[in-house]
């Protein structure tokens, strides 16, 4: 699984990163995690509210931080 976090370094972007790390650990999922901070690259995904989460090339959510339950469903798909 390939996870990308899109964000320009705002407080919520850091929060999303931390909660993803935690969720991956708890769920024992191996994933490649990458942070995208370049604005042109972020825009190429079509998102406007940050942070956004991209899993295997697909934008899963933008502008909000999900809880553990939602991570579970997101990562197990």
What residues are annotated to the active site? 10, 13
- Which one, 30 or 35, has the nearer CB to another protein? 35
Q: At its nearest, how many Å lie between another protein and the CB of residue 54?
A: 11
Rule CB under 8 A: which residues touch another protein? 8-10, 39-40, 42-50, 59-67, 70
Q: If you search the block for the tokens 């934008």, which residue do you land on?
A: 59
Q: At its nearest, how many Å lie between another protein and the CB of residue 72?
A: 14
Which residues have CB under 8 Å from 22's CB, separation 6+?
none
Establish how many alpha carbons lie within 13 A of residue 25's alpha carbon, considering only the half-sphere containing its beta carbon.
6
């Amino acid at each position: 699984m390939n996870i990308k976090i899109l964000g320009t370094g705002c407080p919520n972007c850091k929060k999303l990163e931390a909660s993803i790390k935690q969720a991956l650990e708890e769920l024992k999922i191996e994933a490649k995690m990458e942070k995208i901070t370049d604005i042109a690259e972020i825009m190429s995904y079509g998102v406007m509210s940050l942070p956004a989460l991209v899993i295997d090339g697909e934008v899963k959510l933008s502008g909000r931080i999900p809880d553990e339950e939602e991570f579970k469903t997101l990562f197990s798909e």
